[in-house]
């Protein structure tokens, strides 16, 4: 098999749309990926450094309540704190709406998919409900700019992000022989170091040992954070001396952030990392058991291009095995809903401008019933990939309910199911779905059955 526009948009993109043409070739896809990020400009999400309410303002508001000199000042401070909380809640819903709007609007669908893939690879969860709205800004700052660039750059951006430091306890970790450890009586926390090796770079089967985890954990000490000033490197918390990670010595002089960043370069360019990332991408985009030759090609291209992720994607798209049917993966709930909106031609400005209530009822709550609580997977390993994890009775109940009910709420006049089957599945839909589109008693049933069909869920 070779390139096919319908498969390109469904498997590697965000689903077909009646008014946005699918890519015409692999070259088209790669050119779009190499070009500017149009959707980020059209539907902005604040970068972490600029997002409000920030950790700093939330902390300042809490302190103002604590330190209020009298009842009147306290009431004022509490009103301000509550206003910030409300702003955070609204921003959380707005982030979700914006992410859907980008997905609905784009002609560079693979960029959206890659952003979600790498955000999941570097999963963080908000440490409290008050900062849930900062997960999207983390992705916007640390992940999205690098999805077509060098993996090492993404890795470096992630490990200095307060969202990751807090999520994997790195801010608490002190070098056992550091000045801070002596004063505070605390010590090393291996959480981030372990996940960096096990999940983010070499992978659980990679060639690293418990000693590497420990040495990396010692090397990472000094990555610190404060609510007021954000990320800080703290030499007083850093373990003195050199650390040996995967046979390479880092540091040894005065503790320095550069030593840690150098180590990220080393991890990013390790052959086991190349293989782990290549296979994970191939599993996500192609099939649960991707062709080993395809994976090898992707890894080799990545290493030859000095750790460039676009080269890895190119290796995948140019390989014939990437285009082999049948579709065996399924859309995650977010992608399912967003692709439904695309097929229904819901205008992106309607999505982006939706009210808090609408976003909850059309996207957030249905996703939860389908099994994906937005930006809150259970662990640092992110969402599962296997179709069987998602297509369970209650997951399917959520999907069928959405298919049957949401379209009526979203568009004024439902399309004729006989047309809609082509909007959703292309010029050659499977015959049983085309039959159902003709046989439905009502437009609502017809559109719903097409959206609930296995063919629309698979990719």
Partner 1 sequence: MQRRDFLMRSLALGCSAAAAPLVTPVAMAAAPWDTRLVVIILRGAMDGLDVIRPHGDADFAALRPGLGGAGDPGALDLDGFFGLHPGFERLHPLWQAGEFGAVQAVSTPYRDKRSHFDGQDILEAGLPGLQGGGLRDGWLNRMLQLRSELEPEIAYAIGRERMLVLSGEAPTARWSPEAELEVSANARQLLNIVHHDDPLFRDASADAIEIAESLALDAEMAEQTGEMMADSPMMEGVSLNRTHVKLAEFAASRLRGDTRIASFSINGWDTHAKQAGGLRHRGAALSDTILTLKAGLGTVWDKTAVLCLTEFGRTAAENGTGGTDHGTGGAMLFAGGALRGGQVLGDWPGLSEADLYARRDLMPTRDVRAHAAWVMAGLMGLNRDELEGAIFPGMEMGPPPGLLR
Task: Lay out the site mask for partner 1 across 165-204 (x = CB under 8 A, - = otherwise).
Answer: ---------------------------------------x
Interaction between residue 320 and partner 1 (CB under 8 A): no
- Residue whose pair of structure tokens reads 């750790």 in the numeric block: 307
Interaction between residue 435 and partner 1 (CB under 8 A): yes
Report the nearest approach of partner 1 to the CB of residue 84 (Å).
19
Q: Treating both helix axes as pointing N-terminal to C-terminal, what angle do 257-268 and 210-220 enclose, rounded to 10 degrees?
A: 140
Q: Binding segment for partner 1 among 2-10, 205-213, 348-356, 386-394 (CB under 8 A)?
A: 386-394
Task: Lay out the site mask for partner 1 across 322-361 (x = CB under 8 A, - = otherwise).
Answer: ----------------------------------------
Whether the CB-CB separation of 302 and 150 falls below 8 Å is answered with no
Tokens of 250: 């880092």
Beta bridge partners of 223: 233
Q: Binding segment for partner 1 among 53-61, 255-263, 337-345, 363-371 (CB under 8 A)?
A: 363-371
Q: Compute the distance between CA of residue 15 and CA of residue 28 in angstroms, rounded to an integer.
A: 16
Looking at 137, 307, 340, 371, which residue binds partner 1 (CB under 8 A)?
Answer: 371
Looking at 293, 353, 378, 416, which residue binds partner 1 (CB under 8 A)?
Answer: 378
- Residue whose pair of structure tokens reads 């997905």 in the numeric block: 103
Interaction between residue 2 and partner 1 (CB under 8 A): no
Interaction between residue 407 and partner 1 (CB under 8 A): no
Interaction between residue 442 and partner 1 (CB under 8 A): yes
- The alpha carbon of 4 is separated from its chain's Cα centroid by a whole number of angstroms, namely 26
Report the nearest approach of partner 1 to the CB of residue 407 (Å).
13
Looking at 396, 414, 426, 443, which residue binds partner 1 (CB under 8 A)?
Answer: 396
Closest to 346 in 3D by CA, of 364, 359, 333: 359
Interaction between residue 379 and partner 1 (CB under 8 A): yes
Looking at 368, 382, 385, 414, which residue binds partner 1 (CB under 8 A)?
Answer: 368
Interaction between residue 369 and partner 1 (CB under 8 A): yes
Tokens of 210: 């418990």
Interaction between residue 445 and partner 1 (CB under 8 A): yes
First CA to last CA across the chain, in angstroms? Answer: 15
Nearer to partner 1, 255 or 395 (CB): 395
Nearer to partner 1, 213 or 433 (CB): 433
Nearer to partner 1, 154 or 343 (CB): 343
Q: Binding segment for partner 1 among 25-33, 309-317, 349-357, 448-456 (CB under 8 A)?
A: 448-456
Site size with partner 1, rule: CB under 8 A = 39
Task: Lay out the site mask for partner 1 across 9-48 (x = CB under 8 A, - = otherwise).
Answer: ----------------------------------------
Interaction between residue 209 and partner 1 (CB under 8 A): no
Report the nearest approach of partner 1 to the CB of residue 234 (Å).
23
- Residue whose pair of structure tokens reads 């992608």 in the numeric block: 335
Q: Binding segment for partner 1 among 206-214, 271-279, 406-414, 429-437 (CB under 8 A)?
A: 429-437
- Residues within the interface to partner 1 (CB under 8 A): 204, 368-369, 371, 378-379, 387-388, 391-398, 400-401, 404, 430, 432-433, 435-436, 439-442, 445-446, 448-450, 452-455, 457-458
């Amino acid at each position: 098999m070779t390139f096919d526009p319908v498969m390109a948009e469904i498997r590697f993109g965000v689903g077909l749309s009646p008014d946005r043409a699918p890519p015409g070739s692999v070259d088209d896809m790669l050119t779009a990926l190499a070009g500017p990020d149009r959707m980020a400009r059209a539907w902005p999400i604040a970068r972490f450094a600029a997002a409000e309410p920030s950790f700093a303002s939330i902390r300042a508001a809490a302190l103002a309540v604590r330190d209020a000199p009298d009842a009147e000042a306290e009431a004022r401070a509490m009103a301000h704190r509550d206003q910030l909380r409300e702003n955070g809640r609204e921003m959380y819903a707005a982030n979700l709406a914006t992410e859907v709007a980008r997905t609905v609007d784009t002609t560079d669908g693979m960029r959206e998919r890659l952003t979600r893939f790498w955000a999941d690879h570097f999963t963080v969860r908000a440490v409290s409900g008050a900062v849930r709205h900062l997960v999207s800004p983390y992705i916007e700052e640390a992940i999205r700019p690098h999805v077509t660039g060098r993996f090492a750059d993404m890795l470096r951006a992630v490990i200095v992000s307060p969202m990751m430091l807090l999520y994997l306890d790195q801010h608490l970790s002190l070098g056992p022989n550091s000045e801070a450890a002596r004063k505070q009586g605390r010590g090393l926390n291996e959480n981030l170091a372990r996940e960096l090796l096990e999940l983010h770079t070499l992978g659980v089967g990679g060639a690293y040992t418990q000693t590497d985890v420990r040495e990396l954990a010692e090397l990472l000490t000094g990555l610190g954070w404060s609510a007021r000033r954000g990320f800080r490197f703290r030499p007083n918390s850093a373990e003195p001396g050199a650390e040996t990670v995967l046979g390479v010595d880092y540091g040894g002089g005065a503790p320095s952030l550069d030593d840690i960043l150098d180590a990220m370069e080393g991890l990013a360019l390790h052959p086991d990392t190349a293989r782990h990332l290549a296979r994970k991408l191939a599993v996500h985009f192609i099939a649960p058991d991707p062709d080993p030759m395809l994976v090898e090609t992707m890894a080799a291209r990545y290493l030859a291009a000095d750790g460039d992720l676009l080269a890895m994607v190119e290796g995948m798209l140019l390989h014939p095995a990437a285009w082999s049917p049948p579709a065996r993966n399924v859309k995650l709930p977010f992608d399912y809903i967003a692709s439904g909106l695309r097929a229904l031609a819901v205008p992106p400005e309607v999505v982006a401008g939706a009210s808090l209530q609408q976003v909850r009822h059309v996207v957030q709550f249905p996703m939860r019933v389908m099994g994906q609580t937005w930006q809150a997977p259970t662990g640092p390993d992110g969402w599962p990939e296997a179709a069987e994890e998602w297509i369970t009775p209650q997951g399917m109940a959520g999907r069928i309910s959405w298919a049957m009910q949401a379209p009526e709420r979203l568009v004024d006049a439902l399309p004729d199911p006989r047309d809609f089957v082509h909007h959703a599945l292309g010029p050659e839909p499977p015959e049983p779905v085309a039959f159902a589109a003709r046989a439905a008693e009502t437009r609502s049933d017809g559109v719903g059955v097409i959206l609930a069909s296995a063919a629309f869920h698979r990719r």
